[in-house]
Structure 1
Amino acid sequence: MSWLTEHVRPKLRSLLQRDVPDNLWTNCESCSQMMLTKELVRKKKVCPHCGHHMRATAHERMKWTFDDGQYTTIDLPAVPADPLHFRDSKRYTDRLKTARSKAGLDDSLLVAHGRIDGREAVVAVMAFEFMAGTMGSALGEAFLTACREAIQRKAPLIIFTASGGARMQEGVVSLMQMPRTTIGVEMLREAGLPYLVVLTNPTTGGVSASFAMLGDIHIAEPNALIAFAGPRVIRDTVREELPEGFQRSEYLKDHGMVDIIASRAELPALLGRLIGMLSPAANGDAKAARAS
């Protein structure tokens, strides 16, 4: 055996067969272009080729929203883990354990406070990575906690929605969160505090039929699906072709359901301006200026 096969070939193989991380590249689910994952994260998970907004985790949204990415999470109350003792192919308690392990969250809503453009705010983010952001009793309790925190701090509440709707494993208990969260929104209104909703892809089901559509201002990410029932279900029910872009952000803005469409790069500055215009302190300063 020659020195070429004994020494040179193994060295060449070791150079050419270096381990490449599985997550080095990411494919855009819209245009199928490949991009470096690090670059995609730097661009807040917005495709640089087509502008498609990919799904983001709850902690990523918090980091992107608050000044310098600094925020303090709020402890949320515990609720009964399995009120109906539900079981399908797996126990509901087992599904919860798996979801908590994967997402690193207790449930599908994360709440924090901090500053946006120098102004204090409470932010709640629905975590689609936790059982598709479904709404159960834990989410309802967390939303009410966010409302109380905002009232205590006399700060606006901003919520980022992303949900597949009510959580089937909690049945009617999940559906009861629709009126409960509506009460939370009414508490904010009585306190004179702004309630801003940022609709992301997807926002559907009982979430879109309750607190997601009760904001003072509705902001949506581009091309987000916002609906109660999905377009396929509606098409199969009415047996008619739906308009192009039906139930997407742009269609809903044209029909008065959404106020503003904003990209992720624009959101922090936009939220800061809206807080400045709508906060009680700003309104008080404006009244004092008019009086003088």
Structure 2
Amino acid sequence: MHALTIAQPTEVNQYADKSIDVLLNMWLHGKSQSTQDSYKRIAVKFLTAIDKPLVNVSLDDLQQWVDSLPSANDNTRKTYINIVKSLLTFTHQLGITHYNVGKVVKTPKPKDALTERILTEQEITILIHSETNQRNKLILKMLYYCGLRATELSGLTWGDLSERGDGNGQATIYGKGSKTRVVIIPSNLYKELEQLRGDAGKADPVFRSRQGKGFLTRAMVWEIVKKAAKRIGLPAPSPHWLRHGHASHSLDRGAPIHLVSQSLGHASVATTSRYLHAKPSDCSSLYLG
């Protein structure tokens, strides 16, 4: 099998003798560990499927691979295609390939299913209060009230949390795209977190794994949310559904869109505006009949 190589030894290129792992590490440098893991997994799937050195990947190879992707989930197809296009762009920029064949491949536009992923305030309230484990209950509360991503929550240390003069707390979040933001923690939630702390130091995780003092993984956070949802008969949501709920419900209650965008760490207000479109307050259909 020649798929997991960059080029034949006869190729004249300063990267030709590098392993594919070295190339992938260069491509993903600076991204979070969870992003690196998922991107590498998909890139290796692609290279294994086409079964030829990376430098020889043609447009036909890429198109055949795209056609082979399952059509049931357009969002997954979009993710796979965008990741491989990113890899091919990177190799072209390095001069490994003469042409960027990924540039001409169109990324599908899947149905926006955001509205299907927004739980009601009542559903989230029941989800939280049905959780009997105190650590897990606080995890659900932090995901919702602070709008955190699973990776942001799992990496929190006590040094990231501090008390404010107004009785509320605040968390310094190191988020997506290596951006740092500060999120206010409501006073009651902050008091509950302080009770959880015990004798933990600043470098210790806010939410410890059950095996000891280690950090939770993203997968562990997913499992906690999944079990809590199953307990009350909800479809298995991801932790991100609580973040969706934070955005949608705060906008419903009159929070300025720029404030919600800043709190969630969105790259632009346009991303936050999707929540307004998912649950419009008015529609021309109401003016008919």
Q: What TM-score results when the alignment is normalised by the length of structure 1?
A: 0.24
Question: By percentage of residues, which structure has more strand?
Answer: 1
- RCO higher in 1 or 2 (8 Å CA, sep ≥ 6)? 2
TM-score by length of 2: 0.24
Larger helix share, 1 or 2 = 2
